[in-house]
Structure 1
């Protein structure tokens, strides 16, 4: 009996090994770029969240100042008010500015999540907060008001900066 070419239909061991090496090389090239794309997406989400909250804090301050100037009221008994919200939750729950307006004005639908911070807790502990009385680089919130927010993540961004410094 004679063997023909049609009888040798399988792949040799060498062909399988070469194919596996090529696939491994391709996967090793694609995986880092996929991880980088994922990190970049999270960084964009963090920037958007910080911008959203900081804009809401500024809008709260503008509205509070406007309402007080229109009502020609003096600051509270506790002394001069900073016009900033007392907590982040006040931006979501709304505020009537001490009864100076008829209904509560809301500035955020929800408090965004930090995509890099993995700790547990409520929104006042997940985000780092600074009051208007705190130094600009403070990591301890004075609890007078909410002047600024920052990420508590210890991670480093693609550009080499720390997320805490954004």
Structure 2
């Protein structure tokens, strides 16, 4: 009886090879799915970041129009009402007394998850073409990713 327990205490070489073969097959199936999951998560983060910045730009423009309509600020010809730079959304504006304090639109500027070169967001001004990749510099009307990668749906991230 003791001899039988000693003989069945370990795994044979064949059992080990079969177990490793099964693990290898499972690993080859799981790794591509994990890569897609990571890319999909980054895409969701990019969509959220773009939505957050674009919403802040729209709120800024709404407050500009409200302050102009209530004669709290002087509007100059050719001024679009969008911020001159992206950082203006962080510092805020009181709109000539429309608010008791400078209204801030963002706590921080979200990062682009596909920005590997640390180039930052691509900017478009109100007078730029919709698909322009060169910023006119007058104001910040829109932002886009500068990544050349292709999304899971086949579009470029810079076109989102």
Same fold (TM over 0.5): yes
Output the CA distance in 1 between the equivalents of 2:93 and 2:134.
25
Q: What secondary structure is seen at the aligned counterpart in 2 of 1:95?
A: coil
Cα drift, residue 36 of structure 1: 1.1
Alignment match, 1:63:
63
- The count of corresponding residues between Structure 1 and Structure 2 is 157
Cα drift, residue 37 of structure 1: 1.1
Alignment match, 1:91:
89
Alignment match, 1:134:
128
Give runs of ≥4 in structure 1 deviating > 6 Å: none
RMSD over aligned Cα atoms: 1.8
Structure 1's unaligned 5+ residue stretches are none
Contact 2:72–2:97 (CA<8 Å) still a contact in 1? Answer: no
Contact 1:71–1:100 (CA<8 Å) still a contact in 2? Answer: no
Cα drift, residue 108 of structure 1: 0.9
Cα drift, residue 155 of structure 1: 1.0
Output the CA distance in 1 between the equivalents of 2:43 and 2:11.
46
Output the CA distance in 2 between the equivalents of 1:41 and 1:149.
20
Output the CA distance in 2 between the equivalents of 1:46 and 1:134.
22
Contact 1:130–1:146 (CA<8 Å) still a contact in 2? Answer: yes
